[in-house]
Structure 1
């Protein structure tokens, strides 16, 4: 089984604004810290959410393709290990209060 190699681009002005790159596939994911910054999902992209170390994260694809979608969870798991939070719980629904109200 082939494993992806992930790289991380960080913003020196915002320690929570990372971008995860999958070297082999071109997948890119923006990382948002939901506890400290606003996040408004782009309906044209895929969002997943993570909770670990008492912090909430949003992961949003950048120009997603159908081939990229399969690697998103693996990229988030890699990131969780990178930030020393391997137990991060990854979910599809926004965990912030009042964000997933059925209409």
Structure 2
């Protein structure tokens, strides 16, 4: 079984603005630290959330292609391992009260 290789682009001016890139596909996932910045979900992208050690993260794809959708969770798991937080809980919805109101 092949495994994707992921790379990380960081913003030196904002330590909470990482972008996970798949080396082998077109998948890109933007990381948001929700305690430090606002997050507005793009309805055309996939959003997942990660919770670990009292910190909540949002993960949002960038120009998602249908072929890459199944790799989003593995990219987030790779990021959790990169952060040395392999027990990060990956959530399908924003767990903050009032953030999951349907539009």
Q: Same-fold call, TM > 0.5? A: yes
2:54 aligned partner = 54
1:42 aligns with 2:39: no
Report how far residue 97 of structure 1 moved: 1.5
Q: Secondary structure at the match of 1:80?
A: helix
Q: Does 1:76 find its partner at 2:76?
A: yes
Query: 1:30-88: per-residue Cα shift (whole Å, max 9, x none)?
Result: 00000110000000000000000210000000000111101000000000000111000
Cα distance 1:14–1:25, how it changes in 2: closer, same or farther (>3 A)? same
Segments of 4+ in structure 1 off by > 2 A? none
CA distance in 2, matches of 1:101, 1:85: 29
Match of 1:19 in 2: 19
Alignment root-mean-square deviation, CA: 1.1
Q: Where does the alignment leave 5 or more consecutive residues of structure 2 unmatched?
A: none
Instruction: Tell me how far apart the structure 2 counterparts of residues 59 and 102 of structure 1 sit (CA, whole Å).
Output: 19
- Number of matched pairs: 103
Kindly indicate whether residue 39 of structure 2 is the aligned counterpart of residue 9 of structure 1.
Answer: no
Which consecutive unaligned segments of at least 5 residues does structure 1 have? Answer: none
Output the TM-score relative to the length of structure 2. Answer: 0.96
